[in-house]
Amino acid sequence: MAIIYSIIDYFTDYSNSIMQMIVENVKIGKFEYSTTISILYFAVVMIIILFVNGILSRSANKAVN
C-alpha cells in the first residue's frame, strides 16, 4: 500500500514538470488547455497505479498461497 501512496505523491508533487505546466496554464487563463492536460495526466496516472496494484496483488496472492 505504501508503494501506491508513494506513486501518487510523486505524480502530484509540484516539482513535477507536468503539474507545474498545469498550474502555469491556469494562472494565465488557459483553462481548457490545463483541463485537457489534467484529464489526460489523471488517466495515465490511473493506468500506472492499476498496473502496479495488479502486480502487487499477484505477488501477495502468490506469497500467501
Which amino acid type is present at position 62? K
Note the pLDDT tens digit of each residue in 28-62.
999 999 999 999 999 999 999 999 988 888 776 67
Give 23's contacts (C-beta < 8 A, 6+ positions apart): 14, 34
- Please determine, for residue 1, whether its predicted confidence score (pLDDT) is greater than 80: no
**If you write DSSP's letter for every residue of 35-59 in order, what string do you get?**
HHHHHHHHHHHHHHHHHHHHHHHHH
The SS3 of residue 15 is coil
- What are the strands, taking DSSP E only, across the chain? none
Q: How many domains does the chain have?
A: 1
Tell me the pTM: 0.78
Domain that holds residue 33: 2-64
Summarize the confidence of residues 16-35 as an average pLDDT.
Answer: 95
Q: Which of 19-23, 25-29, 53-57 has the lowest mean pLDDT?
A: 53-57
Looking at residue 36, its pLDDT comes to: 96
